[in-house]
Every structure is written in structure tokens, then in C-alpha cells.
């Protein structure tokens, strides 16, 4: 099987993997929720969801679960999507009701 230290490292790695899996899963869930709200056009709810996703990404990065560059890239992409959606919504003119004569 291997030396005792190798066996112990396998057990340790397994425990770490289980602990980190839930954090990674939560990060992915938060990002998905934020993206769905952005694409649905619900910008106020999307802002809150993006803030939650960024927070969970930062926490995962602090704990060493995600690499800091990976975290930065994901945050950048998410915020870019949000900013584009906000820009599009503010650029669209308000629909004017036609007056009947």
C-alpha cells in the first residue's frame, strides 16, 4: 500500500477534498444565481446576488480553496456581465404610450 506517512497523507487529502467541495459548490451556485438574474433583467436582485457571489469567491480564496488569480478572473467576468446589463438597460428608451386621436 505504501508507507505510513503516505497512507496518512491520503486520508488527510480526502478530508480536505470533502471540506473544500462544499465551498466550491456554494461558489458555483452563487455565480449561477447571479448570472440567471442578470440575464433575466432583474438588476436590483442581480446586484445583491453578485455581491454574495463575490463575497463567497473572496472567502474561498482566503481559505486557499481557489487560487487568487482564478478568483479575480471569475469576479471580473461576473462584474463585466452585470455592468453590461446595467448599461443596456439605461441605454434603452422608455416605451411611450401612443395617444389615440
The tens-digit pLDDT sequence of the chain (101 residues) is: 689 999 999 999 999 999 999 999 999 999 999 999 999 999 999 999 999 999 999 999 999 999 999 999 999 999 999 999 999 988 876 666 766 65
Q: Looking at residue 91, what is its pLDDT?
A: 80
Please tell me whether residue 65 adopts helix, strand or coil conformation: coil
What is residue 63's DSSP assignment?
A: T
All domains of the chain in start order, with CATH? 10-83 (1.20.58.110)
pLDDT for res 42 = 92
Residue with cell 465551498: 23
Please report which residue ranges of the chain form alpha helices under DSSP H: 4-40, 43-62, 68-91
Amino acid at each position: 500500500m505504501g508507507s505510513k506517512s503516505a497512507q496518512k497523507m491520503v486520508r488527510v487529502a480526502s478530508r480536505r477534498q470533502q471540506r473544500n467541495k462544499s465551498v466550491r459548490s456554494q461558489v458555483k451556485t452563487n455565480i449561477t444565481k447571479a448570472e440567471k438574474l442578470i440575464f433575466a433583467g432583474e438588476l436590483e436582485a442581480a446586484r445583491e446576488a453578485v455581491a454574495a457571489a463575490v463575497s463567497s469567491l473572496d472567502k474561498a480564496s482566503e481559505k486557499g480553496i481557489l487560487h487568487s488569480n482564478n478568483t479575480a478572473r471569475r469576479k471580473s467576468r461576473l462584474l463585466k456581465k452585470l455592468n453590461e446589463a446595467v448599461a443596456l438597460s439605461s441605454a434603452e428608451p422608455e416605451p411611450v404610450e401612443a395617444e389615440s386621436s
